[in-house]
Chain A
Amino acid sequence: EVQLVETGGGLIQPGGSLTLSCAASGFSVSSNYMIWVRQAPGKGLEWVSLIYSGGVTYYTESVKGRFSISRDSAKNTMYLQMNSLRAEDTAVYYCARGEFSTYDEYYFHYWGQGTLVTVSS
């Protein structure tokens, strides 16, 4: 059974750092397209970062240079290292596994339960 469990959220001061983890079971993180999606309070879904099975990574503009996505095949876990956190980074962060649709497009069948990151002094 495919399962994703996020951990690592919490209250952090502006300018601080936090690392989120997405532990997977039932499949290999390293062999799949994986994504971090966040949802600010009362707002919609926003993709944050993604990693292809081949290791190529991308970031949404607002987090470039501050966030870093990675994975550990031995632990079958994906990470999101978040530095220089801002109030606007406050959100529930979800990880999800991509399913190939067409061309370079993926959709997301399996999601974690989410972990809340609150950036506040």
Chain B
Amino acid sequence: QSVLTQPPSVSGAPGQRVTISCTGSSSNIGAGFDVHWYQQLPGTAPKLLIYRNSNRPSGVPDRFSGSKSGTSASLAITGLQAEDEADYYCQSYDNRLTGSGLFGGGTKLTVV
């Protein structure tokens, strides 16, 4: 069970807006550590989607946005497209644990 909690699945219709939550605690997100998001298409390596809470790497559409508040963070996807169907993972740091590779359990986004 991950220290960062994500919903196992979310879904939305093309064109809609969906959000994926990442809930932590006072030792990770709540302590002020950054949250990063990854998209993993089937059979491929994870791809960095959002870094440092709300920043998009070059090439990531502005349909993807990130935010953080208190002990939680969210990834929002607007104008949902079929190709957005993937697994999404949040990542942060926990001052009680070793290593930056603290990933959430992942959320499967289905475009219905």
Q: A interface vs B, CB < 8 Å? A: 33, 35, 37, 44-47, 50, 58, 60, 94, 98-99, 101-109, 111-114
Seen from chain B, the residues whose Cβ lies within 8 Å of a Cβ on chain A are 2, 33-34, 36, 38, 40, 44-48, 51-52, 57, 87, 89, 91-93, 98-106
Assess A111 versus B46: contact at CB under 8 Å? Given A101-B36, A102-B33: yes
* Residue among A44, A45, A104 facing the most chain B CB atoms (10 A cut-off): A45
B33–A105 CB distance below 8 A: yes
Contacts of B98 in A (CB 8 A): 58
Dominant secondary structure of chain B at its interface with chain A: loop
**Docked-complex contact A60 and B99, CB < 8 angstroms:** yes
Could you say which of A45, A104, A111, A112 contacts B103, with CB atoms under 8 Å apart?
A45
Cβ 8 A contact of A108, one of B46, B52, B93: B46
Contact, CB under 8 Å: A44 / B105: yes
Return the chain A residue nearest B28 by Cβ. A105
Please list 10 pairs of residues, one from A and one from B, whose beta carbons are closer than 8 Å in the complex, sorted by A's number.
A47-B101, A58-B99, A99-B51, A101-B34, A101-B36, A101-B52, A104-B93, A105-B93, A107-B91, A108-B91
